[in-house]
Amino acid sequence: MTRILGWALKAVLLLVAFTILWALAYRWLNPPTTWLMMRDRFDGVTVKHDWVGLDAMSRHLPRAVIGAEDARFCEHRGFDLDAIEEAYERNKAGGRLRGASTISQQTAKNAFLWPGRTMTRKAIEAWFTVLIEFLWGKPRIMEVYLNIAEMGRGIYGVEAAAQHYFDKPAAKLTRLEAARIAAILPQPIERDAASPGRYTRRYADRIAKRARVVANEGIDACVWN
């Protein structure tokens, strides 16, 4: 029994060490693929994915996703406890179900894991979120997020999205175009940034206004450190 426990402990320690090294590697190496990209390729979908550095993107893009997805991105250390509490109270009261995942959590999920809602997967996601917050820092988290997020069927990252929807590089996107890309992130397969429906258009307009506030108030300061 003691020997079995010893083996189990060694296995756990090896697994922990592997995840730390994996996360550390992605601090400098760009993730070559994601689970969703592999899914699309398996289904015969052409994957469009061109990596661009944070300095080669329009600044409107980080501001748009902060305004849309995670207003406290620069304040929290991976988990927005206030947003989690707000989502819990809203869901408990019978309101529209809503999550509270931060950009850091979404980056951890997209870079390392598969989609799912099981407690085990969420626990692993939390572990990787802690790792990337500690090992990467906010600029790298934002860069990876904007490069691997699904933004349409077979479209991953802001460069592919900018070319697909607006026929221009990510560096040239306007505030409204960046907002429209951010507006499709919750449902990238159903929504279209180039020809948005009424709801997506209105949502993008709200995001564009929030992005202006993010810029004016320096809410995105950590991204440019």
152-203 residue pLDDT tens = 999 999 999 999 999 999 999 999 999 999 999 999 999 999 999 999 999 9
Percent of the chain past pLDDT 90, that is, above it, reads 81
Number of domain units in the chain: 1
What CA–CA distance (Å, rounded) separates 169 from 195? 18
pLDDT beyond 70 at 99: no
Task: Work out the pLDDT band at 97, boundaries 50, 70, 90.
Answer: very low
Sign of the Cα torsion 36, 34, 166, 174 reads: positive
Question: What is the pLDDT at residue 94?
Answer: 62
Residue-range definition of the domain harbouring residue 61 = 2-224
Mean pLDDT score of the chain: 92
Question: What is the pLDDT at residue 134?
Answer: 96
Which CATH number belongs to the domain containing residue 147 in this structure?
A: 1.10.3810.10
What CA–CA distance (Å, rounded) separates 66 from 92? 26
Q: What is the pTM of this model?
A: 0.92
Task: Work out the pLDDT band at 90, boundaries 50, 70, 90.
Answer: low
The runs of H, that is alpha helices, within the chain are 2-25, 35-42, 60-69, 81-92, 103-112, 119-135, 138-148, 158-166, 175-184, 198-216
pLDDT beyond 60 at 35: yes
Tokens 């408990």 found at: 92
Sign of the Cα torsion 156, 158, 160, 161 reads: positive
